[in-house]
Structure 1
Amino acid sequence: MTHIDTQPHIGKIILGETVRTLSEINHNATRAAQGLKQLGMGTGDVIALLLRNDFSLFEASFAANLLGALVVPINWHASADEVDYILRDSGARILVAHTDLYNRLEQPSLPGLDLLLVDTPEAIKQAFRIPDAIAKSSEQAFLWDQWLENFPPLQDHPQTSGGSMIYTSGTTGRPKGVRRPPLTKEQMPRAMAMACAMYGFQPDQPATTVITGPMYHSGPNGYGLLAARLNATIVLQPRFNETELLQLIEKHAVTHLHMVPTMFIRLLRLAKEIRMKYDLSSLVWVAHGAAPCPPGVKELMIDWWGPVINEYYGSTETGGITVQTSKDASRKPGSVGRAIEGVDIRIFDDNGQQQDAGITGKIYIRTNAFGDFDYHGKSQDRREISQGDFVWVGDIGYLDEEGFLYLCDRRKDIINSGGVNIYSAEVEAAILDMPGIEDCAVFGIPDDDLGEVVCSHITLIPSAKVTPDQVTDFVRTRLGRMKAPATVVVEDELPRQESGKIFKSKLRAPYWQDRTRNI
C-alpha cells in the first residue's frame, strides 16, 4: 500500500528528543525514491534494511513502495554470515544500514550492492550503550540524510505498492524469504480491514502508539508501517523497558500498542506501587501475538489494564488469521480466537482428510487479503505446504464447535516418546498453571529407550520455592506419566528472541550435541 498522507490531524514519529512529522517522512521518502531510481532501482528490485527502529526505516520502506521495489528487513541480531546469506539470497541491490550495525559485520563485498549508511541516532546509542567509535562511519559511503538532499521528490510512481520479502526465523536451517507480490486494487481494502481487525486501528480516528518491538520482524513491521499510513503519532522505544513504557503511555496518552507475552511478564514483575503509579486510561487496543500467552498472564493483564488486551494469530506467509478479544479470553481460555473476515481455516490430517471440530490436525489457511506468496528460490518448499489453495505453516491445532482455534504445537516441537506424540504446548500450559511458575519451555531430549523424553526449563516468580520434582509430580497428576518431564531445570531467565519467541534451539542443543540426530 503506497502511503498517501490525507488525514487532517498531524501524525508524527518521535525518537528520543527528536520529532519528525509524517509529512516530512513522506517528503523524504519521495526524495529517497528519486535517489534510488537514479541508482537503478525499479519495480521488482530488492532493497535490504539493516536498521533499528528509526525514521530512516520508514523513509526507505515508503521510498521502495513508490518504486514498486521489494523491502527486505534484516534481523540485526543475525551473524555476519547470516546477513551475507540474506543479501545474496534476496538479490539485494542496495543495503541501508545503521553505521554501528554495519561496522560489526565482516563487511560484505557483493557485486552490484550499493551501500547507504545511517548515523546511529543518539537515543539508540544510549539505549544499547553503543560507543561513538562504532557508531561512526569508516566507509566511503553515502550517509542517508545528506544523500537525500541531492534529489528532488519523485514525480511519477506505480499505482500499486512494491511487495515485501521478509525472511523467516530459520530455526531449522537457513531462513526462507517469504516473497509476496504487490497488492491489487481489489486486495488493498481487504488487507487494510484485516490489519485493522488485528491491530484495532480505525482509519478515521487518530491513534497514538509506541513501537515496542524490532521492525525487522513481520508483526512490528506491518504494525508500524500501517500506523504511519494511517497518520498516527508513533513513539519509537529504542529498547523495551517496562517502566519506561508505562511512562510513555501516560506522557503521550497512548491509545494502541503491539506487544508480545514476554513484555506482559516483565510488566507484571514490577512492584505494585510502580504499576499503579501511571495513568493508563487512554489505552483502547493492545494487540499481542508472535508467541503463546499463558492464560494466567493474560488474565492478570486484563485485570490491570482492562478489557483492551486482544490476541491475534498470524504468520509471515498468511498475514492475520484470527483475533481473540478480552471478552473471548475469559470464555475461551487458551484459544487464539476466530477467523478474521476473509480468512478460511481448515484442519487436515496427514492424509489430507478434513477433520471435524475438536479433532487435532494440521492448521491450513486461505485468505483473500493477499495474493499468493513464494519462498524465494525454494519452490519445492512452497509446494510441500499446499493443500489446494490452502497453506500450512507448521502449526498443529483444532477448531471447536464455535470456530475458535486452539494451537497445540508446532510440528517441529512435537515430542515423539516411545511412538507417542506429545505436544510441548500442552505440557507448557500445564506447568504454567502451577503456582510459583513464571515461564517455561518444553522440548524433547534424547533417551536410549524411548527415543525422546520430555524436558522443561522453567523460571520462577520472585520468592517462589518450587523444586524440579514438584513440577514433574504436578504434570504427572494433570497429564499422566508419559507427559511428565523427565528433566526439569530452573533458570534465572529463558533465552528469547526480540519477537518474544523462546529460543528453544539454544536450550535443546546441548542435549543433542553428541548425537547423530537432533530429533
Structure 2
Amino acid sequence: MDVSELPGFYAIAAADPGRIAVIDTDGTRTSYGDLLARVNQVSHGLRARGLGTGEVVAGVLPNGIDAVVMLMATGQIGLYYVPINWHLTPSEVAYILADCDAKLVVTSPEYAVPGAEIGIEGLAEGQPAHAPDERTCGAVMWYTSGTTGFPKGVQRPLPGAEPEAFLPLNTWFLGEVVDLRPGAEVHLVTSPMYHSSPCSHTQFALHLGHTVVIAPRFDPVKILELIERYRVSNAMMVPTMFHRMLQLPEDVKGKYDVSSLRQVIHTAAACPVAVKKQIMDWWGPVLYEYYGSTESAVAFSVKPHDWLARPGTVGRPAPTFEVRILDEDGKRLPAGEPGLIYVKSSMGTFEYRKDPDRTAASMRGEWYAPGDIGYLDEDGYLFLCDRRTDLIVSGGVNIYPAEIEAALLEHPAVADVAVIGTPDEEWGHNVLALVQLVEGVEPGPELTAELLEHCGPRIARFKHPKAIEYRSRLPRTPTGKLSRSKVRADYLGENTSSSL
C-alpha cells in the first residue's frame, strides 16, 4: 500500500520519514520524519506549559516551518489554534488575544508581541520526539469580522477522538470537491497562512502526503519559477493573483513550464469570467472554485469543465451540504430568482466564541446565512449576484467598513463618514471613504493626509482608504442608521454618468 493512503500526516510521517514534507521560503527542506519529531516535541512542550484539551494557543507567525509545526502540534493534543494576521496593529492583535483567552502566544522576532514566546525552540527544547499520550484532535479557530467590524472567533466543537479517526472524512470531502488525492504531489502555498483557506490547504496537503512548497510572498514570476522548479501539482490562489499573472509580458508567460499543474483552487472573491477563461487558456482546465465562508467552510464547489459549461457559477452544493434561497420573509424562492443564501451541513456546527447572540442572529434554525445574495439555476448551480451589502473584498481579503468608519470618526474634524468599495480591475474593490466634515472645517490635501495618518495606529494598513472624498451630507435612515446602499448607488451612479 502507498503510505500516502495512511490516515493523515502523523501516520504517513512515521511510515515514510524520508519523504519531503516542507520546502521553506528559503529553500530549506524538512522531511516528514523531522517535521513529525519537531511537532511531537512542541506538543509535549505545550502540555508542559499546562495547556489542556480545549484551551487556546495563538500564533503571530510568518509563513514558514514554525507556522506549520504549530498547526500540526496543536492538531494532535486537543488545542484550539488561532493564527493571527501579522499586519494588524498591536491594539488589534491585543483584542483578539483577549477575546480568545490565549494561554500562550508564539511569534517571531519581526512580529514580536509583548509577553509572547519568540519561536518554537523554547517549546521544543528538551522534549521527547515520540508521540504524546492521549492524542486527541484539535482545531483551528479563525477570527473573522462581522458588520460591527469587531472580529470574532469561529469555534467548532472538538471531535473528541484522535486525529486518525477524524481525518478520513475530511480528506474524502476534499477529494470530492477539488479532486485532491493522496500521493507524491506538490502543493504551493501562495498566501498568508493566517487566512483560513491557505491554512487549511497546507494542513491537508500534509495529511495527503504531499510536499508543501512555501512561497516567500506572492510575486507572479516567482510563483511561475516555483511551479516549474518543483513541478507543483496543486495550489490555492485568489482572483487578484490571476489578474497579476495575466499582466505579465507574453514572453515571460511562455518561459515557464506549468504543465505539472492539475488543481489550482480559488476562492475568497468573485473571479471575473474573462480572467478565469484566460488563465485556463494558458494553464489548461485546472481551475477549481469553491464558495463558502469561515463559518460554513466549503459550501459550494465547481470543477473546471462544469464551470466552462456554465461560466460564472460558483458550483453546486458540496457533499453533505443543502441549500435554500429565501426572500426577506423566509419564503423559499424558485430557480432563477435571487435571494439570501442559506446552507446546512451534517459535518458539524460552529459558534462565535463568547457571542451567542451573534451566533443566533446568523442562523435560521439549522440554516446558516453567509450574507450573500444569489440564485440557483434549473440544475442547482449557484450564481452570486452580490457580496454582503457592506463587505468590501479587495485582493481576496475581507474589509469591513464599520471598522474604518469607527477609526475615522475618532478624528475631531469628522462629523460623519461612509466607507464603500469601488470597482477595481485588479483588486476587485478599493476602499473609498466619503467624509462629512464638522461645520467650519475646510477639506483639502493636508486634511486628507492627516486623516490617513490618523488611521495608522488604529487599523491595519490594508484597511486604509485608497481615497478620501468629501460630502456635505450623508444619508441616514429615520432610525439613524447609515444607508450605505444609497451612498454606494449614488456614488457609482454619479461616477458612471460623469464617465459617459
TM-score normalised over the length of structure 1 = 0.73
How far 1:149 moved relative to its partner? 2.6
Q: Does 1:52 align with 2:62?
A: yes
- Going from structure 1 to structure 2, the CA distance change for 1:238 and 1:512 (only over 3 Å counts) comes to farther
Q: How does 1:424-439 map to 2 (within 5 A)?
A: none
Mean Cα deviation higher: 310-319 or 290-299: 310-319
SS in 2 for 1:71: strand
Q: Does 1:78 align with 2:82?
A: no
Q: Distance in 2 between matches of 1:314 and 1:170?
A: 15
Query: Which of 245, 254, 266 is 2:232 aligned to?
Result: 254
Give 2:344's aligned residue.
366
Q: Does 1:406 align with 2:412?
A: no
Q: Distance in 2 between matches of 1:459 and 1:64?
A: 40
Q: Does 1:265 align with 2:240?
A: no
Give 2:457's aligned residue.
none
Q: How does 1:51-200 map to 2 (within 5 A)?
A: 51-102=61-112, 107=114, 115-118=116-119, 144-145=120-121, 147-153=123-129, 155-170=131-146, 172-183=148-159, 188-200=167-179
Q: Distance in 1 between matches of 2:50 and 2:123?
A: 15
SS in 2 for 1:264: helix
Q: Does 1:43 align with 2:53?
A: yes
Q: Tell me if structure 1 keeps the 8 A contact 2:244–2:426.
A: no
How far 1:511 moved relative to its partner? 5.6
AA aligned to 1:336 is V
Q: What 5-or-longer segments of structure 1 have no aligned partner? A: 110-114, 119-143, 415-423, 429-440, 444-451, 462-501
Give 2:223's aligned residue.
245
Q: Does 1:30 align with 2:40?
A: yes
**Residue deviations 1:192-236 (CA, integer Å, cap 9, x gap):** 222233443102x22101100011000001001111122211111
AA aligned to 1:315 is S
- Going from structure 1 to structure 2, the CA distance change for 1:184 and 1:514 (only over 3 Å counts) comes to farther
Give 2:22's aligned residue.
13
Give 2:267's aligned residue.
289
SS in 1 for 2:370: strand
- Going from structure 1 to structure 2, the CA distance change for 1:147 and 1:161 (only over 3 Å counts) comes to closer
Q: Distance in 1 between matches of 2:197 and 2:302?
A: 16
AA aligned to 1:5 is A
Query: Which of 387, 390, 398 is 2:364 aligned to?
Result: 387
Q: Does 1:506 align with 2:482?
A: no
How far 1:56 moved relative to its partner? 0.9
- Going from structure 1 to structure 2, the CA distance change for 1:283 and 1:298 (only over 3 Å counts) comes to same
CA RMSD between the two structures = 3.1
How far 1:284 moved relative to its partner? 0.9
How far 1:147 moved relative to its partner? 4.3
AA aligned to 2:11 is D
AA aligned to 1:49 is G
Give 1:473's aligned residue.
none
Matched length: 414
Q: Tell me if structure 2 keeps the 8 A contact 1:52–1:214.
A: yes
**Residue deviations 1:408-467 (CA, integer Å, cap 9, x gap):** 1133249xxxxxxxxx99xx9xxxxxxxxxxxx9x9xxxxxxxx9998444589xxxxxx
SS in 2 for 1:168: strand
Q: Distance in 2 between matches of 1:68 and 1:456?
A: 43
Q: Distance in 1 between matches of 2:229 and 2:8?
A: 31
Query: Which of 343, 348, 353 is 2:331 aligned to?
Result: 353
Q: Tell me if structure 1 keeps the 8 A contact 2:178–2:303.
A: no
Give 2:354's aligned residue.
377
SS in 2 for 1:176: strand
- Going from structure 1 to structure 2, the CA distance change for 1:74 and 1:188 (only over 3 Å counts) comes to same
Q: What 5-or-longer segments of structure 2 have no aligned partner? A: 1-6, 402-417, 428-460, 477-481, 485-500
Q: Distance in 2 between matches of 1:413 and 1:506?
A: 15
Q: Tell me if structure 2 keeps the 8 A contact 1:342–1:367.
A: yes
Mean Cα deviation higher: 286-295 or 347-356: 347-356
- Going from structure 1 to structure 2, the CA distance change for 1:92 and 1:455 (only over 3 Å counts) comes to closer
**Residue deviations 1:282-329 (CA, integer Å, cap 9, x gap):** 111111111110000000001000011111112111111111122122
Q: Distance in 1 between matches of 2:294 and 2:268?
A: 10
Give 1:418's aligned residue.
none
Share of identical aligned residues, percent?
A: 35
Give 2:201's aligned residue.
223
SS in 2 for 1:506: coil
Q: Tell me if structure 1 keeps the 8 A contact 2:375–2:382.
A: yes
Q: Tell me if structure 1 keeps the 8 A contact 2:43–2:132.
A: no
How far 1:331 moved relative to its partner? 1.6
SS in 2 for 1:330: helix
